[in-house]
Amino acid sequence: MDAVEKNAVDVPLHLKDKHYSGAEKLGRGVSYKYPHDYEKFYVKQNYLPDTMRNSTFYQPKESGYESRIKKFLEYLKQ
């Protein structure tokens, strides 16, 4: 598992819970972008620990419905 191999133990601060006193002082939840507020419900934002940022978890094929998924993933990378 990539998370174990890369010792990815820390969730990015903007994804951590901010619904308690003192969370903002710790940087938790600050600068989080809510995807549903953006076009196609997507916003460029880091969701992984830095050690896993360049990991690939899914590689769609060129055939069938996966070819449409591949095109959409390429669009998101722009």
The CATH code of the domain that includes 36 is 1.10.3710.10
Residue 8 reports pLDDT greater than 80: no
Rounded Cα distance, 44 and 29, in Å? 16
Percent of the chain with pLDDT over 90: 64
**pLDDT grade, residue 1 (50/70/90)?**
low
> Which domain range does residue 62 map to?
2-77
Q: Above pLDDT 70, what percent of the chain?
A: 90
Q: How many domains does the chain have?
A: 1
Contact 28, 18 (CB under 8 A): yes
Q: Residue 69 is which amino acid?
A: I
